[in-house]
A and B are shown apart, each in its own frame.
Chain A
Amino acid sequence: MIRPIDRRTFIVGGAAAGLTLASGALHRASAADPLKIGFIYVGPVGDFGWTHGHDLGRKAVEAKFGDLVKTTYVENVAEGPDAERVIRKLATDGNKLIFTTSFGYMEPTLKVAKAFPKVFFEHATGFKTAPNVAVYNSRFYEGRAVVGHLAGSLTKTGKIGYIASVPIPEVVMGINATAIWARKVRPDAEVKVVWINSWYDPGKEGDAAKALIDQGVDIITQHTDSPAPLQIAEQRGVLGVGQASDMKSFAPKAQLTAIVDEWGPYYIERAQAALDGTWKTSDTWHGLKEGFLSLAPYGDAVPAELRASADAIKAGIIDGSIHPFTGPIKDQKGEVKVADGAKLADGDLLGMNWYVEGVSA
């Protein structure tokens, strides 16, 4: 299951024609005529990972607007031929705002959007927009910089494990952010990557964690969806970082923090815009500052002074004084890819397909 990724800062299709509001305001008569909002998910809502996070966002919208909205979701829709039909069905059924929450829904979303110019579409992690298609994603790498700092500070062996799903830029970006920030505090730190080529296979994720721990890794981070790696960390007495949700219940001692997906505020904002008739297409790539992700409360394994320094990094990222990808950054061969003091541009980040020094993959 391929799912996430990114955005780009250009607009595909009808750029000139349609920067105006797609269709003008939505006319809503009364609360008896709620705004229908549809969601399409790539996994089951019970995955406790990616899809679970989006469904929490959906519930937040319901909680906020009550009778003003009616939400619907379809889960486990494979990327491929089925996606277009489901998205179209959601549009036909009167959903005026539709969130398509996986990268592989990009082309189907655009196709359906063309046929339903009055319906607003929101595509997660894609890079193509249209007058009625907005894209959004989260700067997960900002959280990973803080995680890198924690991991670099706490590792005894200098080896940090990274269980990775599929080699798309978003995942590479996360690996690199972790390595760069770990090496700022522990210059010899090594990030060992194991790819499992799946977003979701608890058994294999756990096995990868075991393989890493057996090879001297004492901090486990992951870019896969289940709490299995963290559980293994707990069992083996090493430390780990949760993914997508606060996974502390699965690893009360081991979890340092978790990178928590926070789609709720964005979904609420966009639903509000649709309700107000002010919705327009946009390309949103927000991070810690805007609350697209958060870090779960630090675990007991994080000492007070480390909490302070981690919070300082977080604060720096939020106020803009810190950019996680600030030069000098060297690649694995030692070549300087980002000059001293320069910041890696969003465009380069989004297509990242090289590893920084210290990554072993």
Chain B
Amino acid sequence: MNIDTLLPMLLTVIAAATPLLLAAIGELVTEKSGVLNLGVEGMMLVGAVIAFAVTVGTGSAILGIIAAAFAGIALSLVFGLLTLTLMANQVATGLALTIFGIGVSSLIGSSYIGTPVEKLAVLHIPGLSDIPVLGPLLFGHDILVYASVAITVLVAWFLKSSRAGLILRAVGESDLSAHSIGYDVIKVRYLAVMFGGLCSGIAGAYLSLSYTPMWVEGMTAGRGWIALALVAFASWRPWRVLGGAYIFGGVTILQLYLQGAGGIGIPAQVMNMLPYLATIIVLTVISAGPWRGRLDAPACLGKPFRPAS
């Protein structure tokens, strides 16, 4: 395989990995604060339809993306209200949010079926984008691809080096101690949940504006669930989320290319299993290998905060 075939394949991988990365990195922050929001799929769908509707309505994709971010936040606030203020069970509320989001998105979207929209433009950087091979690979993407990587970098820095990130982690590890030294646990968790909603909304916008610029019902096709699994895959570490998204996207794309190359005598269903099996195997190797670290699941994940009063 030479560079001429490898390059477009890598570009396809980047496109496939971006929505997973966006949704997963948001969920990672949510989970780091100790909250498990299983409503990613629903928030992505609402983000997708709002991005599409606003872009078609205003002609501005940027407004569409912003609207999608707010739509994601709005849905996440419903989740926050239930789980943080009213202390409802997080797992069930997240699943209910997905059911709700699927319904809301198809209600809003019914009048947009069959409408095309301009694909999100590539940000052309004069000079850089024109470099052979590296140009298109590194500088030939739309704004959301850059955003996905930028958000990952920021989140990694935020969690590791910022004071606010430290507080967030403290809240996720031990809400009672964080509370007792004076941090507002609920407020921190609200912000983290909203960030997750924002990222899921943008991930949805990427689907309906760039990946497949259209609106059709249920267009996420389960990507929200994969994003959730990737957070666990990454052992709650931002860089590993990036790695996981690209491994999953990469194997998905690779098997399509292998099929296109004439197949290798393996049934197509087995080829389609590969991305799932690959993630399991890679995680097993990481977890079992000599470099295994301490498991980073936040200690309070999924548990409601009930301050003794």
Asked if A and B touch directly (CB within 8 angstroms), the answer is yes
Number of B interface residues at 8 Å Cβ cutoff, please give it. 40
Q: Which A residues between 167 and 199 are near B, CB-CB below 8 angstroms?
A: 167, 192-198
The answer to whether the Cβ of A72 comes within 8 Å of any Cβ in the partner chain is no
Q: Which residues of A contact B217 (CB under 8 A)?
A: 44, 46-47
Q: Which residues of A contact B212 (CB under 8 A)?
A: 202-203, 205-206, 226, 228, 231
| A205 to B253 CA separation, bound complex (whole angstroms) | 11
Q: Which residues of A contact B260 (CB under 8 A)?
A: 161, 192, 194, 208, 211-212, 214-215, 217
Of B8, B119, B221, B259, the residue contacting A203 (CB under 8 A) is B221
The answer to whether the Cβ of B71 comes within 8 Å of any Cβ in the partner chain is no
Q: Shortest CB–CB separation between residue B163 and chain A, in angstroms?
A: 39
| A226 to B9 CA separation, bound complex (whole angstroms) | 22
The answer to whether the Cβ of A324 comes within 8 Å of any Cβ in the partner chain is no
Q: Which residues of B contact A197 (CB under 8 A)?
A: 268-269, 272
| A195 to B262 CA separation, bound complex (whole angstroms) | 11
The digit string for B221-249, where 1 denotes a CB below 8 A from any CB of A, is: 11100000000000000000000000000
B113 near A196: Cβ-Cβ < 8 Å: no
Chain A: interface residue count, which band? Answer: 35 or more
Which A residues are closer than 8 A to B by beta carbons?
44, 46-48, 52, 161, 167, 192-198, 200-208, 210-215, 217, 226-228, 231, 235, 245, 249-250, 360-361
B272 near A211: Cβ-Cβ < 8 Å: no
Q: Which residues of B contact A214 (CB under 8 A)?
A: 5, 8-9, 12, 257, 260
Residue of A nearest to B272 (CB): A197
The digit string for B276-291, where 1 denotes a CB below 8 A from any CB of A, is: 0000000000000000
Q: Which residues of B contact A200 (CB under 8 A)?
A: 218, 221
Q: Shortest CB–CB separation between residue B66 and chain A, in angstroms?
A: 23
Q: Shortest CB–CB separation between residue A247 and chain B, in angstroms?
A: 8
| A134 to B207 CA separation, bound complex (whole angstroms) | 40
The answer to whether the Cβ of B106 comes within 8 Å of any Cβ in the partner chain is yes
The answer to whether the Cβ of B116 comes within 8 Å of any Cβ in the partner chain is yes
* Additional pairs, 6, CB under 8 Å, beyond known A47-B217, A47-B218, A203-B221: A48-B216, A52-B113, A202-B221, A207-B253, A211-B260, A214-B8
A215 near B211: Cβ-Cβ < 8 Å: no
Q: Shortest CB–CB separation between residue B4 and chain A, in angstroms?
A: 9
Q: Which residues of A contact B110 (CB under 8 A)?
A: 46
A202 near B214: Cβ-Cβ < 8 Å: yes
| A249 to B256 CA separation, bound complex (whole angstroms) | 27
The digit string for B96-121, where 1 denotes a CB below 8 A from any CB of A, is: 00000000001001100111100100
Residue of B nearest to A192 (CB): B260
Q: Shortest CB–CB separation between residue B251 and chain A, in angstroms?
A: 12
Q: Which residues of A contact B54 (CB under 8 A)?
A: none
- Interface CB pairs A-B, < 8 A, 30: A44-B106, A44-B217, A47-B216, A47-B218, A48-B114, A194-B260, A195-B269, A197-B269, A200-B221, A202-B216, A203-B219, A204-B256, A205-B212, A206-B211, A206-B212, A207-B15, A208-B260, A211-B12, A211-B253, A212-B260, A213-B8, A226-B212, A226-B216, A226-B219, A231-B116, A235-B119, A249-B114, A250-B116, A360-B263, A361-B259
The digit string for B49-82, where 1 denotes a CB below 8 A from any CB of A, is: 0000000000000000000000000000000000
CB contact under 8 A between A211 and B116, given known A46-B109, A198-B221, A228-B214: no
| A245 to B218 CA separation, bound complex (whole angstroms) | 18
Q: Shortest CB–CB separation between residue A47 and chain B, in angstroms?
A: 6
CB contact under 8 A between A231 and B221, given known A195-B268, A210-B12, A215-B257: no
Residue of B nearest to A229 (CB): B212
Q: Which residues of A contact B262 (CB under 8 A)?
A: 192, 360
